[in-house]
Amino acid sequence: MKKLRMFSTVSACLIAACLSTSTSAAVTAYAQDFEAMTPSQGYPPNDLSADGWKIYGFAWDTNPYTGPANLEYDYGPFDAANGDPGSIQGVATGEGSQGDNALNKYSDYNNTDQSQGPCDPPSVPCVPNLYIQAITFQTQTIAAGDAGVWRFAYDAKIGNLVADSSASAYIQTLDSTFGFQKAVVVNDSTNLPIEWGRYSLDLLIDSTMVGDILQFGFSATSTAYRGSGVFYDNLSFSQVPLPGAVWLFGSGLIGLVGVARKRKSNLI
């Protein structure tokens, strides 16, 4: 199988975004607290898929969060399941003061390539344990009136994530024709505390992105069926109002921050 060397988020996000374009004519605000959703509905149709959530998967030969990794294959996009069977996320209950429900996001444990090794004897062809990255996301299409700073905010706390697993939240834009990444901001969720906290990511949308894809959501990666769960709740996605003078200064500043974050990140 052909391997692709991955040096940034660009190629990892390419296929998922290109095959998951939105029919929306413009970026719109979004909010979700999961309180009206029913837990453990399984395969779509369900409350998560009805709310527009999609999923995509990547299989890597090594942990993509600790260095460059080879992409073995990818799969998706699909409508999101809600809990088992067939799920990489689900509406969960009983997670504290955030309300009755929250989103439990984890890797794809239905993918048996998480546990294939060890290769013994070495002369026998086999596939060692792969790292399975599963992303859960929303997509919209950027229109001419959407220029500005958009914020993806959410509550989060650590779930059953253990060593050698990774998680993140992200917001990004991708070219609608060729799929390459134009901008990305990532929050690492791997080392969250056990208590709920509020987090956010800001992304600058400019006139060069009109017609492109905007994507925001969550990622979880694991191998050997190790725990990778993180809880998210009270999601909001909205434009940040800025006075004219602040906009002139802030847009340049946020743009610089976005570039810096992109260069530091290996993967969403």
Residue, of 117 and 7, whose pLDDT is higher: 117
> What was the pLDDT predicted at 61?
92
> What was the pLDDT predicted at 171?
97
The predicted model gives 208-224 an average pLDDT of 96
- Using one digit for the tens of pLDDT, what is the confidence trace for 44-59? 999 999 999 999 999 9
User: How long a stretch of residues is the chain?
Assistant: 268
Q: Under a CB-based contact definition with an 8 Å cutoff, are residues 211 and 176 in contact?
A: yes
The predicted model gives 4-24 an average pLDDT of 41
The predicted model gives 189-207 an average pLDDT of 96
Report the DSSP pairing between strands 148-158 and 131-141. unpaired
What percentage of residues in the chain have a pLDDT greater than 70?
77
**Nearest of 117, 133, 7 to residue 69 by alpha carbon:** 7
Q: Under a CB-based contact definition with an 8 Å cutoff, are residues 206 and 144 in contact?
A: no
The dihedral through the CA atoms of 137, 140, 145, 147 has a sign that is positive
Single-letter amino acid code for the residue at 218: F
> What was the pLDDT predicted at 259?
39
Q: Is the pLDDT of residue 258 over 70?
A: no
Residue, of 221 and 261, whose pLDDT is higher: 221
Q: What is the average pLDDT value for the chain, to the nearest integer?
A: 83
Q: Under a CB-based contact definition with an 8 Å cutoff, are residues 174 and 142 in contact?
A: no
- Using one digit for the tens of pLDDT, what is the confidence trace for 236-251? 999 998 765 444 444 4
> What was the pLDDT predicted at 120?
58
Give the number of other CB atoms < 10 A from CB of residue 163.
Answer: 8
Distance of alpha carbon 199 from alpha carbon 192, whole angstroms: 10
Domains of the chain, earliest start first? 4-264 (2.60.120.260)
pTM value?
0.83
- Using one digit for the tens of pLDDT, what is the confidence trace for 51-92? 999 999 999 999 998 889 999 999 999 999 999 877 899 999
> What was the pLDDT predicted at 12?
44
What percentage of residues in the chain have a pLDDT greater than 90?
67
The predicted model gives 32-51 an average pLDDT of 97
Distance of alpha carbon 55 from alpha carbon 71, whole angstroms: 17
The predicted model gives 211-228 an average pLDDT of 96
Q: Under a CB-based contact definition with an 8 Å cutoff, are residues 183 and 146 in contact?
A: no
Enumerate helices (H) and strands (E) in the chain, giving the number of each. Answer: 3, 13
- Using one digit for the tens of pLDDT, what is the confidence trace for 120-172? 555 555 667 899 999 999 999 999 999 999 999 999 999 999 999 999 999 99
Report the DSSP pairing between strands 230-239 and 148-158. antiparallel
Q: Under a CB-based contact definition with an 8 Å cutoff, are residues 56 and 13 in contact?
A: no
Q: Under a CB-based contact definition with an 8 Å cutoff, are residues 46 and 82 in contact?
A: yes
